[in-house]
């Protein structure tokens, strides 16, 4: 998943448990420029559903989260979702 302010998919709509490719990578750009330098490549080569943005309630006041906060929120959400799915599949197979 590519985290960028230009994405149309909200982090609120991502379900890491439905990941079917096996491994998941969370990719962030720099604190200043984000993924701006590879944006043309992303638009040409990547599925838009793999580009994720955090929703901002007041973008005129609060522009963005810093990089470490964004990364930790995404990592926690992926960890939590995948572990809950793993627990559910374990309990249903028991």
How sure is the predictor about 69, in pLDDT bands with cuts at 50, 70 and 90? very high
Q: What percent of the chain is modeled with pLDDT above 90?
A: 28
Q: What is the pLDDT of residue 39?
A: 87
Q: What is the pTM of this model?
A: 0.77
Distances (CA, A) of 47 to 23, 34, 42, 43, 74: 17, 18, 8, 8, 19
């Amino acid at each position: 998943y590519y985290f960028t302010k230009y994405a149309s998919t909200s982090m609120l709509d991502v379900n890491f448990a439905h990941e079917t490719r096996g491994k998941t990578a969370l990719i962030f750009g720099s604190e200043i420029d984000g993924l701006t330098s590879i944006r043309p490549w992303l638009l040409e080569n990547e599925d838009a559903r793999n580009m994720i943005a955090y929703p901002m309630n007041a973008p005129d006041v609060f522009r963005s989260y810093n990089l470490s906060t964004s990364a930790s929120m995404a990592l926690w959400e992926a960890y939590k979702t995948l572990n809950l799915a793993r627990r559910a599949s374990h309990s249903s197979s028991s």
